[in-house]
Amino acid sequence: MITRTEATAGVAAAVRASRATGIGPVALASSMLIVVAAFAVMMGASTIPPLTTLAIILDRLPFMTLAVDAPVGWQRIVLEVRLPRVLTAGLAGAALAYSGATYQGVFRNPLADPFLLGVASGAALGAAIAIMTPLDAGPYGFGWVPLFAFGGAALAVVIAYSAAHVGLARSNTSLILAGVAVSSVAGAVTSFIMLNGGERVLAIFAFLFGSFNTANWERAVLAIPYLAVGTAVIAIHGRLLNVLQLDEEQAAQLGVNVARTKLVLLAAASLVAATAVAMAGVIGFVGLVVPHLVRLLFGVDYRRVLPLSALIGASFLIGADVLSRTLLRPQEVPVGIVTAVIGGPFFLYVMRTRRIGGGL
Protein backbone atom coordinates (compact mmCIF):
# COMPACT_ATOMS: atom_id res chain seq x y z
CA MET A 1 0.00 0.00 0.00
CA ILE A 2 2.91 2.36 0.68
CA THR A 3 5.23 3.07 -2.20
CA ARG A 4 8.86 4.06 -2.01
CA THR A 5 8.13 7.72 -2.78
CA GLU A 6 5.44 7.81 -0.11
CA ALA A 7 7.91 6.32 2.38
CA THR A 8 10.43 9.01 1.43
CA ALA A 9 7.77 11.64 1.91
CA GLY A 10 7.06 10.05 5.29
CA VAL A 11 10.69 10.37 6.36
CA ALA A 12 10.71 13.99 5.23
CA ALA A 13 7.58 14.59 7.31
CA ALA A 14 9.23 12.90 10.29
CA VAL A 15 12.25 15.19 9.98
CA ARG A 16 9.96 18.19 9.70
CA ALA A 17 8.03 17.13 12.80
CA SER A 18 11.18 16.46 14.83
CA ARG A 19 12.43 19.89 13.89
CA ALA A 20 9.15 21.40 14.98
CA THR A 21 9.14 19.55 18.30
CA GLY A 22 12.91 19.67 18.46
CA ILE A 23 15.42 20.79 21.01
CA GLY A 24 15.64 24.47 20.08
CA PRO A 25 13.21 25.82 22.67
CA VAL A 26 14.38 23.26 25.26
CA ALA A 27 18.02 24.30 24.80
CA LEU A 28 16.99 27.92 25.11
CA ALA A 29 14.99 27.33 28.30
CA SER A 30 17.84 25.23 29.78
CA SER A 31 20.37 27.99 29.13
CA MET A 32 18.03 30.50 30.72
CA LEU A 33 17.68 28.27 33.79
CA ILE A 34 21.47 27.99 34.20
CA VAL A 35 21.90 31.77 33.96
CA VAL A 36 19.07 32.48 36.40
CA ALA A 37 20.33 29.87 38.87
CA ALA A 38 23.90 31.20 38.73
CA PHE A 39 22.64 34.73 39.27
CA ALA A 40 20.46 33.60 42.19
CA VAL A 41 23.40 31.93 43.96
CA MET A 42 25.40 35.18 43.73
CA MET A 43 22.61 37.27 45.24
CA GLY A 44 22.03 37.46 48.94
CA ALA A 45 22.11 39.42 52.18
CA SER A 46 25.89 39.11 52.56
CA THR A 47 27.94 40.62 49.77
CA ILE A 48 30.22 37.91 48.50
CA PRO A 49 31.96 38.72 45.19
CA PRO A 50 30.17 36.87 42.37
CA LEU A 51 33.32 35.21 41.02
CA THR A 52 34.26 33.97 44.48
CA THR A 53 30.77 32.49 44.80
CA LEU A 54 31.15 30.62 41.53
CA ALA A 55 34.64 29.46 42.49
CA ILE A 56 33.36 28.08 45.80
CA ILE A 57 30.73 26.01 43.94
CA LEU A 58 32.96 24.87 41.09
CA ASP A 59 35.59 23.77 43.60
CA ARG A 60 33.12 21.23 44.97
CA LEU A 61 32.52 19.57 41.61
CA PRO A 62 34.40 16.36 40.95
CA PHE A 63 37.76 16.74 39.16
CA MET A 64 37.77 20.48 39.85
CA THR A 65 40.34 21.88 42.21
CA LEU A 66 40.50 25.65 42.42
CA ALA A 67 42.58 27.38 44.98
CA VAL A 68 39.65 29.19 46.59
CA ASP A 69 40.74 31.98 48.87
CA ALA A 70 37.52 32.62 50.70
CA PRO A 71 36.53 32.73 54.40
CA VAL A 72 34.93 29.55 55.74
CA GLY A 73 31.83 31.63 56.55
CA TRP A 74 31.38 32.52 52.90
CA GLN A 75 31.75 28.90 51.90
CA ARG A 76 29.10 27.92 54.43
CA ILE A 77 26.71 30.61 53.18
CA VAL A 78 27.09 29.60 49.56
CA LEU A 79 27.10 25.83 50.03
CA GLU A 80 24.73 25.37 52.96
CA VAL A 81 22.30 28.28 52.53
CA ARG A 82 22.13 29.65 49.02
CA LEU A 83 22.71 26.51 46.96
CA PRO A 84 20.05 24.34 48.64
CA ARG A 85 17.69 27.29 48.55
CA VAL A 86 18.12 27.81 44.79
CA LEU A 87 17.87 24.06 44.21
CA THR A 88 14.65 23.84 46.25
CA ALA A 89 13.10 26.83 44.48
CA GLY A 90 14.02 25.33 41.11
CA LEU A 91 12.62 21.92 41.99
CA ALA A 92 9.41 23.41 43.38
CA GLY A 93 8.93 25.68 40.37
CA ALA A 94 9.54 22.84 37.94
CA ALA A 95 7.23 20.53 39.89
CA LEU A 96 4.37 23.05 40.13
CA ALA A 97 4.53 23.99 36.44
CA TYR A 98 4.87 20.36 35.33
CA SER A 99 1.90 19.19 37.38
CA GLY A 100 -0.07 22.28 36.37
CA ALA A 101 0.48 21.45 32.69
CA THR A 102 -0.70 17.91 33.39
CA TYR A 103 -3.83 19.04 35.24
CA GLN A 104 -4.70 21.48 32.45
CA GLY A 105 -4.19 18.73 29.88
CA VAL A 106 -6.29 16.17 31.73
CA PHE A 107 -9.13 18.61 32.39
CA ARG A 108 -8.81 20.33 28.99
CA ASN A 109 -9.38 23.45 31.06
CA PRO A 110 -7.09 26.48 31.14
CA LEU A 111 -8.25 27.30 34.66
CA ALA A 112 -7.03 24.01 36.08
CA ASP A 113 -4.02 24.22 38.37
CA PRO A 114 -2.23 21.62 40.47
CA PHE A 115 -4.31 22.63 43.50
CA LEU A 116 -7.64 21.88 41.78
CA LEU A 117 -8.26 18.61 43.63
CA GLY A 118 -7.27 19.90 47.06
CA VAL A 119 -3.46 19.54 47.15
CA ALA A 120 -2.94 23.04 48.56
CA SER A 121 -5.73 23.09 51.11
CA GLY A 122 -4.94 19.55 52.26
CA ALA A 123 -1.27 20.41 52.62
CA ALA A 124 -2.11 23.62 54.50
CA LEU A 125 -4.30 21.74 56.95
CA GLY A 126 -1.61 19.12 57.46
CA ALA A 127 0.98 21.83 58.02
CA ALA A 128 -1.31 23.71 60.43
CA ILE A 129 -1.82 20.55 62.48
CA ALA A 130 1.93 19.87 62.56
CA ILE A 131 2.67 23.45 63.59
CA MET A 132 0.06 23.45 66.37
CA THR A 133 1.02 20.03 67.68
CA PRO A 134 4.12 20.30 69.85
CA LEU A 135 6.24 17.80 67.92
CA ASP A 136 9.65 19.30 68.00
CA ALA A 137 12.31 17.19 66.38
CA GLY A 138 11.03 15.51 63.27
CA PRO A 139 12.59 12.51 61.58
CA TYR A 140 15.95 13.16 59.89
CA GLY A 141 15.94 16.59 61.51
CA PHE A 142 13.86 18.44 58.94
CA GLY A 143 10.67 18.76 60.94
CA TRP A 144 7.20 17.32 60.83
CA VAL A 145 5.63 20.09 58.75
CA PRO A 146 6.60 18.73 55.30
CA LEU A 147 5.48 15.23 56.20
CA PHE A 148 2.11 16.39 57.53
CA ALA A 149 1.68 18.70 54.54
CA PHE A 150 2.40 15.87 52.13
CA GLY A 151 0.01 13.54 53.97
CA GLY A 152 -2.74 16.17 54.02
CA ALA A 153 -2.33 16.85 50.31
CA ALA A 154 -2.45 13.15 49.42
CA LEU A 155 -5.49 12.56 51.63
CA ALA A 156 -7.38 15.52 50.15
CA VAL A 157 -6.83 14.30 46.57
CA VAL A 158 -7.85 10.73 47.44
CA ILE A 159 -11.05 11.96 49.11
CA ALA A 160 -11.90 14.30 46.22
CA TYR A 161 -11.24 11.61 43.61
CA SER A 162 -13.29 8.98 45.46
CA ALA A 163 -16.16 11.38 46.10
CA ALA A 164 -16.35 12.31 42.40
CA HIS A 165 -17.44 8.78 41.48
CA VAL A 166 -20.91 9.42 40.09
CA GLY A 167 -22.53 6.57 38.20
CA LEU A 168 -20.12 4.81 35.86
CA ALA A 169 -17.70 7.61 35.16
CA ARG A 170 -15.91 10.46 36.87
CA SER A 171 -16.71 13.45 34.76
CA ASN A 172 -14.34 16.39 34.79
CA THR A 173 -17.08 18.54 36.30
CA SER A 174 -17.73 16.17 39.19
CA LEU A 175 -13.98 15.97 39.87
CA ILE A 176 -13.68 19.76 39.96
CA LEU A 177 -16.73 20.11 42.21
CA ALA A 178 -15.43 17.43 44.58
CA GLY A 179 -12.08 19.26 44.67
CA VAL A 180 -13.85 22.52 45.53
CA ALA A 181 -15.82 20.82 48.31
CA VAL A 182 -12.76 19.14 49.85
CA SER A 183 -10.77 22.39 49.58
CA SER A 184 -13.42 24.42 51.35
CA VAL A 185 -13.75 21.93 54.20
CA ALA A 186 -9.96 21.76 54.68
CA GLY A 187 -9.72 25.54 54.36
CA ALA A 188 -12.40 26.04 57.00
CA VAL A 189 -10.66 23.74 59.45
CA THR A 190 -7.33 25.49 58.78
CA SER A 191 -8.96 28.88 59.44
CA PHE A 192 -10.42 27.58 62.69
CA ILE A 193 -7.00 26.33 63.78
CA MET A 194 -5.47 29.71 62.90
CA LEU A 195 -8.10 31.63 64.87
CA ASN A 196 -7.07 29.64 67.92
CA GLY A 197 -3.41 29.48 67.04
CA GLY A 198 -1.95 32.26 69.15
CA GLU A 199 1.58 33.13 68.17
CA ARG A 200 1.99 30.06 65.95
CA VAL A 201 -0.42 31.61 63.45
CA LEU A 202 2.52 33.35 61.81
CA ALA A 203 4.15 30.01 60.99
CA ILE A 204 0.93 28.74 59.41
CA PHE A 205 0.56 32.01 57.54
CA ALA A 206 4.09 31.68 56.19
CA PHE A 207 3.26 28.20 54.91
CA LEU A 208 0.14 29.54 53.17
CA PHE A 209 2.25 31.93 51.10
CA GLY A 210 5.25 29.73 50.64
CA SER A 211 8.87 30.33 51.50
CA PHE A 212 12.29 28.90 50.86
CA ASN A 213 14.00 30.31 53.91
CA THR A 214 14.09 26.95 55.67
CA ALA A 215 15.40 25.10 52.61
CA ASN A 216 18.15 22.62 53.29
CA TRP A 217 19.91 19.79 51.48
CA GLU A 218 18.10 17.03 53.39
CA ARG A 219 14.65 18.24 52.38
CA ALA A 220 15.61 18.82 48.75
CA VAL A 221 17.26 15.43 48.39
CA LEU A 222 14.32 13.66 50.04
CA ALA A 223 11.94 15.26 47.52
CA ILE A 224 13.85 14.14 44.44
CA PRO A 225 12.67 10.49 44.30
CA TYR A 226 9.01 11.54 44.54
CA LEU A 227 9.47 14.15 41.83
CA ALA A 228 11.39 11.71 39.64
CA VAL A 229 8.71 9.00 39.81
CA GLY A 230 5.85 11.42 39.22
CA THR A 231 7.44 13.26 36.32
CA ALA A 232 8.62 10.03 34.66
CA VAL A 233 5.08 8.63 34.71
CA ILE A 234 3.71 11.85 33.22
CA ALA A 235 6.49 12.09 30.65
CA ILE A 236 5.67 8.72 29.08
CA HIS A 237 2.04 9.85 28.82
CA GLY A 238 2.95 13.03 26.90
CA ARG A 239 1.45 11.82 23.63
CA LEU A 240 -1.68 10.53 25.37
CA LEU A 241 -2.16 14.02 26.81
CA ASN A 242 -2.28 15.21 23.20
CA VAL A 243 -4.97 12.62 22.47
CA LEU A 244 -6.92 13.76 25.54
CA GLN A 245 -7.08 17.27 24.06
CA LEU A 246 -9.75 15.80 21.78
CA ASP A 247 -13.04 15.01 23.46
CA GLU A 248 -13.14 11.83 25.53
CA GLU A 249 -15.22 9.88 22.98
CA GLN A 250 -12.63 10.50 20.29
CA ALA A 251 -9.86 9.48 22.66
CA ALA A 252 -11.71 6.24 23.42
CA GLN A 253 -12.29 5.63 19.70
CA LEU A 254 -8.54 6.03 19.17
CA GLY A 255 -8.01 3.16 21.59
CA VAL A 256 -7.22 5.09 24.78
CA ASN A 257 -8.52 3.84 28.12
CA VAL A 258 -9.58 7.32 29.16
CA ALA A 259 -10.57 6.62 32.76
CA ARG A 260 -7.34 4.77 33.55
CA THR A 261 -5.14 7.32 31.79
CA LYS A 262 -6.78 10.18 33.71
CA LEU A 263 -6.36 8.36 37.03
CA VAL A 264 -2.67 7.66 36.41
CA LEU A 265 -1.98 11.22 35.25
CA LEU A 266 -3.86 12.88 38.12
CA ALA A 267 -2.19 10.61 40.69
CA ALA A 268 1.28 11.37 39.30
CA ALA A 269 0.62 15.11 38.98
CA SER A 270 -0.79 15.25 42.51
CA LEU A 271 2.29 13.44 43.84
CA VAL A 272 4.54 15.99 42.15
CA ALA A 273 2.49 18.97 43.36
CA ALA A 274 2.19 17.62 46.91
CA THR A 275 5.96 17.16 47.05
CA ALA A 276 6.47 20.76 45.94
CA VAL A 277 4.02 22.07 48.53
CA ALA A 278 5.60 19.97 51.27
CA MET A 279 9.02 21.45 50.39
CA ALA A 280 8.04 25.08 50.14
CA GLY A 281 4.47 25.72 51.24
CA VAL A 282 1.61 26.89 49.06
CA ILE A 283 2.95 28.89 46.13
CA GLY A 284 0.23 29.90 43.75
CA PHE A 285 0.34 31.09 40.18
CA VAL A 286 3.34 29.08 38.91
CA GLY A 287 1.30 25.98 38.16
CA LEU A 288 -1.47 27.99 36.53
CA VAL A 289 0.46 30.49 34.47
CA VAL A 290 3.70 28.87 33.34
CA PRO A 291 2.04 26.08 31.29
CA HIS A 292 -0.16 28.72 29.63
CA LEU A 293 2.82 30.81 28.78
CA VAL A 294 4.54 27.77 27.27
CA ARG A 295 1.51 26.89 25.15
CA LEU A 296 1.16 30.47 23.95
CA LEU A 297 4.81 30.68 22.97
CA PHE A 298 5.65 27.16 21.82
CA GLY A 299 2.39 25.45 20.77
CA VAL A 300 0.14 22.77 22.17
CA ASP A 301 2.16 19.54 21.79
CA TYR A 302 2.41 18.19 25.35
CA ARG A 303 5.65 16.39 24.56
CA ARG A 304 7.13 19.86 24.34
CA VAL A 305 4.83 21.66 26.79
CA LEU A 306 5.83 19.38 29.69
CA PRO A 307 9.66 19.76 29.65
CA LEU A 308 9.43 23.45 28.76
CA SER A 309 6.98 24.06 31.63
CA ALA A 310 9.41 22.42 34.05
CA LEU A 311 12.41 24.46 32.84
CA ILE A 312 10.58 27.77 32.72
CA GLY A 313 8.76 27.07 36.01
CA ALA A 314 12.14 26.47 37.67
CA SER A 315 13.62 29.70 36.29
CA PHE A 316 10.50 31.64 37.22
CA LEU A 317 10.42 30.50 40.84
CA ILE A 318 14.19 30.88 41.35
CA GLY A 319 13.87 34.44 40.04
CA ALA A 320 10.83 35.14 42.21
CA ASP A 321 12.72 33.87 45.25
CA VAL A 322 15.64 36.22 44.51
CA LEU A 323 13.18 39.10 44.51
CA SER A 324 11.47 37.82 47.66
CA ARG A 325 14.73 37.96 49.61
CA THR A 326 16.17 41.15 48.11
CA LEU A 327 13.22 43.51 47.53
CA LEU A 328 12.77 44.55 51.18
CA ARG A 329 16.13 43.35 52.46
CA PRO A 330 16.64 42.14 55.17
CA GLN A 331 12.93 41.34 55.48
CA GLU A 332 11.63 38.59 53.18
CA VAL A 333 8.48 38.99 51.10
CA PRO A 334 6.59 35.67 50.91
CA VAL A 335 7.46 34.18 47.52
CA GLY A 336 3.79 33.44 46.73
CA ILE A 337 3.11 37.17 46.81
CA VAL A 338 6.03 37.83 44.46
CA THR A 339 4.90 35.19 41.96
CA ALA A 340 1.42 36.69 41.80
CA VAL A 341 2.54 40.32 41.58
CA ILE A 342 5.17 39.64 38.90
CA GLY A 343 3.43 36.81 37.10
CA GLY A 344 0.00 38.38 36.73
CA PRO A 345 0.92 41.46 34.70
CA PHE A 346 3.55 39.56 32.71
CA PHE A 347 1.00 36.95 31.75
CA LEU A 348 -1.53 39.57 30.70
CA TYR A 349 1.14 41.20 28.56
CA VAL A 350 2.02 37.93 26.80
CA MET A 351 -1.64 37.10 26.32
CA ARG A 352 -2.32 40.44 24.64
CA THR A 353 0.72 40.38 22.37
CA ARG A 354 0.52 36.73 21.33
CA ARG A 355 -3.15 36.19 20.58
CA ILE A 356 -3.19 32.97 18.56
CA GLY A 357 -6.43 31.33 17.55
CA GLY A 358 -8.15 32.76 20.59
CA GLY A 359 -7.66 29.48 22.43
CA LEU A 360 -5.67 28.79 25.55
Partner 1 sequence: MTTLIDVPLLRVTAIRAALGSREVLRDVTLDVASGEVVGLLGPNGAGKSTFLRAVTALIPLTAGSVEVFGATLANLDRRALARGVAVVQQLPEAPPEMSVEDLVLLGRTPHLGLLGRESARDFAVTSEAMRRAGCEDLASRPLGTLSGGQRRRVFIARALAQEPRLLLLDEPTANLDVQAQYETFELLRALAADGVGVLVVVHDMTLAAAYCDRLVLLADGRVVASGPPAAVVTVDIIRSVYGNNVTVLAHPGTAFPIVVPVMVEEPHD
Residues that bind partner 1 (CB under 8 A): 1-2, 6-7, 9-11, 13-14, 17, 236, 238-240, 242-243, 245-247, 249-250, 252-257, 295, 299-301, 356-359
Nearest residue to 360 via CA among 287, 292, 290 = 292
Look at residue 177 and give its three-state secondary structure: helix
Residue number with CB closer to partner 1 (68 or 351): 351
Residue number with CB closer to partner 1 (252 or 351): 252
Residue number with CB closer to partner 1 (138 or 299): 299
Minimum distance from residue 335 beta carbon to partner 1 (Å): 32
Minimum distance from residue 81 beta carbon to partner 1 (Å): 40
Minimum distance from residue 104 beta carbon to partner 1 (Å): 12
Q: The dihedral of CA 220, 104, 311, 251: what is its sign?
A: positive
- Report the alpha-carbon distance of residue 52 to residue 75 in Å, rounded: 9
Residue number with CB closer to partner 1 (188 or 254): 254
Helix axes 172-195, 201-209, angle to 10 degrees: 150
Please name every residue paired with 267 in a beta bridge, in sequence order, or none if there are none. Answer: none
Residue number with CB closer to partner 1 (82 or 237): 237
Minimum distance from residue 32 beta carbon to partner 1 (Å): 23
Please name every residue paired with 169 in a beta bridge, in sequence order, or none if there are none. Answer: 166
Minimum distance from residue 37 beta carbon to partner 1 (Å): 30
Minimum distance from residue 103 beta carbon to partner 1 (Å): 16
Residue number with CB closer to partner 1 (180 or 300): 300
- Report the alpha-carbon distance of residue 71 to residue 56 in Å, rounded: 10
For the range 28-35, what are the long-range contacts, defined as Cβ-Cβ under 8 Å and sequence gap of 24 or more?
Answer: 29/307, 29/308, 29/311, 29/312, 29/315, 30/311, 32/311, 32/312, 32/315, 33/90, 33/311, 33/314, 33/315, 33/318
Q: Residue 52 burial by CB count (10 A; 0-12/13-18/19+): exposed, middle or buried? A: middle
Whole-Å CA distances, 220 to 123, 152, 265 = 17, 19, 23
Find out whether the peptide bond into 330 is cis, omega within 30 degrees of 0. Answer: yes
Residue number with CB closer to partner 1 (181 or 246): 246
Residue number with CB closer to partner 1 (26 or 81): 26
- Percent helix / strand / coil, the chain, rounded to 5: 75, 0, 25
Minimum distance from residue 357 beta carbon to partner 1 (Å): 4
Minimum distance from residue 60 beta carbon to partner 1 (Å): 36
Q: What is the DSSP letter of 77?
A: I
